[in-house]
């Protein structure tokens, strides 16, 4: 079961050009994901962005997972004859 990211992630055209951000901050989902991709730990991210907590980072990951799932093409299941 995926974490409910909705209480944590918002899109507002007046904040960071409408990019998804952690609610109550200007920290973008892209920034957090980029930090994780660079190899930063959650603890390091929290030090760099003190407005975040561990649940916010987990929400970013959940949001990315759901977004990726929506973007992936659905392949037909092969039929076995």
Tens-level pLDDT at each residue, the chain (81 residues): 668 999 999 999 999 999 999 999 999 999 999 999 999 999 999 999 999 999 999 999 999 998 887 665 655 555 555
The Cα–Cα gap between 3 and 78 comes to: 31
Contact indicator for 1, 64 with CB cutoff of 8 Å: no
- 17: in domain: yes
Q: Which residues contact 3 (CB under 8 A, 6 or more apart)?
A: 55, 58, 59, 61, 62
Q: What is the pTM of this model?
A: 0.82
**pLDDT for position 59:** 97
Domain residue limits at 28: 9-69
- 42: in domain: yes
**pLDDT for position 81:** 54
- 1: in domain: no
Structure tokens at 18: 């409408």
If one counts the domains in the chain, the total is 1
Structure tokens at 58: 């987990």
């Amino acid at each position: 079961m995926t974490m409910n990211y909705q209480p944590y992630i918002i899109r507002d055209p007046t904040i960071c050009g409408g990019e998804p951000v952690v609610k109550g901050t200007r920290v973008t989902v892209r920034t957090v994901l980029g930090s994780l991709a660079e190899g930063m730990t959650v603890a390091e991210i929290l030090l760099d962005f003190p407005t975040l907590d561990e649940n916010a980072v987990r929400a970013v990951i959940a949001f990315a997972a759901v977004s990726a799932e929506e973007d992936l093409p659905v392949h037909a299941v092969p039929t076995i004859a």
